[in-house]
């Protein structure tokens, strides 16, 4: 894993703001309207499966059974409620078993797998779980298993804390987490690091950066 760099982090998040405003609108709408206390198969399809379709796993998402996924989410609500709200304030070793169990249970659902499992878990606990895909896992040297996902979350907590430290030092801000939330429209740190990871690991990124620089944005 390469050393995290605040400037690159900020540059890539600015690029995200230019390119993915529609994605952000859809993402925030889901977080606003998704209610686990009244979840049914219709809401599971409307919010979670549609999110998977638009977030890069359409071919598998369209084959998912909404009823089965809904049942699994309802079954896991007690475990999710036992986890802290925020990744960065959690002693991950104390909840290692719960994290791995949740990840394995969702990824083992037919047509879900490790990438979609992380996306589902993120929607269920947005400030705790970080999304990944095969390219991101490879970049951080993590296997796409339940143990690999736990290691990935551990690394993400470390990366986020390093970024917060750099942000605090650069801008002389004693509350960097709050400052980043304001700067990026209320997105959680786990969502921001996902945007950074996703853009960082796309092979076409240089072409897009060149186009953006040539545009009038």
pLDDT at position 131 is 97
Distance between CA atoms of residues 167 and 10, nearest Å: 10
Distance between CA atoms of residues 129 and 118, nearest Å: 7
Domain ranges of the chain: 6-214
pLDDT at 52 over 90: yes
Residues 10/170, Cβ–Cβ less than 8 Å = no
- What are 83's two structure tokens? 């986890």
- What are 155's two structure tokens? 């690394």
Q: What is the pLDDT of residues 61-90, one digit of tens each?
A: 888 999 999 999 999 999 988 898 899 999
Residues 14/42, Cβ–Cβ less than 8 Å = no
Residues 63/111, Cβ–Cβ less than 8 Å = yes
- What are 149's two structure tokens? 């996902």
- What are 147's two structure tokens? 């143990």
- What are 174's two structure tokens? 């004693």
| % of the chain residues with pLDDT over 70 | 95
Q: What is the pLDDT of residues 107-131, one digit of tens each?
A: 988 999 999 999 999 999 999 999 9
Neighbouring CB atoms inside 10 A of 31's CB total: 15
User: Taking Cα atoms as reference points, which of 71, 69, 94, 75 lies closest to residue 84?
Assistant: 94
Q: What is the pLDDT of residues 138-163, one digit of tens each?
A: 999 999 999 999 999 999 999 999 99
Q: Taking the model in full, what pTM does it have?
A: 0.91
Q: What is the pLDDT of residues 172-188, one digit of tens each?
A: 878 898 999 899 999 99
Q: Which residue, chain included where needed, has tokens 């104390």?
A: 94
| % of the chain residues with pLDDT over 90 | 74
CA 153 from centroid of its chain's CA atoms? 10
Neighbouring CB atoms inside 10 A of 202's CB total: 12
Q: Residue 1 — very low, low, confident or very high, per pLDDT cuts 50/70/90? A: low
Interhelix angle 96-107/146-171, rounded to 10 degrees, is 120
Distance between CA atoms of residues 39 and 176, nearest Å: 34
């Amino acid at each position: 894993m390469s050393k995290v760099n605040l400037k690159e982090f900020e540059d890539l998040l600015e690029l995200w703001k230019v390119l993915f405003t529609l994605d952000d609108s859809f993402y925030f709408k889901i977080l606003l309207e998704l209610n686990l206390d009244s979840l049914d198969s219709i809401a599971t399809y409307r919010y979670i499966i549609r999110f998977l379709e638009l977030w890069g796993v359409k071919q598998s998402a369209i084959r998912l059974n909404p009823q089965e996924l809904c049942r699994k989410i309802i079954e896991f609500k007690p475990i999710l409620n036992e986890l802290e709200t925020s990744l960065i304030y959690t002693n991950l070793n104390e909840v290692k078993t719960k994290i791995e169990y949740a990840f394995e249970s969702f990824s083992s659902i037919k047509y879900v797998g490790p990438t979609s499992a992380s996306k589902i878990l993120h929607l269920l606990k947005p400030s705790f779980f970080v999304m990944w895909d095969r390219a991101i896992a490879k970049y951080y040297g993590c296997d796409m298993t339940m143990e690999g996902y736990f290691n990935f979350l551990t690394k993400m907590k470390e990366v986020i804390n390093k970024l917060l430290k750099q942000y605090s030092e650069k801008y002389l801000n004693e509350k960097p987490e709050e400052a980043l939330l304001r700067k990026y429209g209320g997105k959680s740190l786990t969502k921001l690091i996902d945007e950074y990871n996703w853009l960082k690991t796309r092979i076409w990124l240089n072409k897009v950066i060149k186009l953006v620089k040539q545009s009038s944005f």
